[in-house]
Amino acid sequence: MRKPGFKKIWRSILCMDFSNGFLIAEIFSIYYPREVMISSFENGTSLKVKLDNWAQLEKFLARKKFKLPKELIHGTIHCKAGVPEILIQEVYTLLTHREVKSIQDDLVNFTDYSYQMRLPLVARSTASKSIKDNIRLSELLSNPNMLSNELKVEFLFLLHMLQRRLNRKLNPKWFDVKSTVGEVTLNQIPAQASGSSYNSKILRKRAVPVSSNTDNGGSSLRHIHVKQAGKYSDDSIMKPTINLEEKP
Residue type, position 156, single letter: L
Which residue, 113, 197, 196, is CA-closest to 160?
113
**Does domain 4-96 correspond to CATH entry 3.90.550.10?**
no
Q: Are 20 and 44 in contact (CB under 8 A)?
A: yes
For 70-97, the pLDDT digits (tens) are 888 988 998 887 788 888 888 999 998 8
The residue extents of the domains of the chain are: 4-96, 112-173
For 151-186, the pLDDT digits (tens) are 888 988 998 898 888 888 888 787 777 777 777 777
Enumerate residues 6+ apart whose C-beta is below 8 A from 10: none
Q: Which helix (H) or strand (E) holds 223?
A: strand 219-223
pLDDT bucket at 220, cuts 50 / 70 / 90: low
For 11-64, the pLDDT digits (tens) are 555 667 888 999 999 999 999 999 999 999 999 888 899 999 999 999 999 999
Kindly give the pairing relationship between strand 211-214 and strand 240-242.
Answer: unpaired
For 54-75, the pLDDT digits (tens) are 999 999 999 999 988 888 898 8
Distance between CA atoms of residues 163 and 159, nearest Å: 6
Enumerate residues 6+ apart whose C-beta is below 8 A from 54: 21, 73, 77
Q: Are 127 and 153 in contact (CB under 8 A)?
A: no
Q: What are phi and psi of 24, to 5 degrees?
A: -65, -40
Q: What is the pLDDT of residue 133?
A: 84
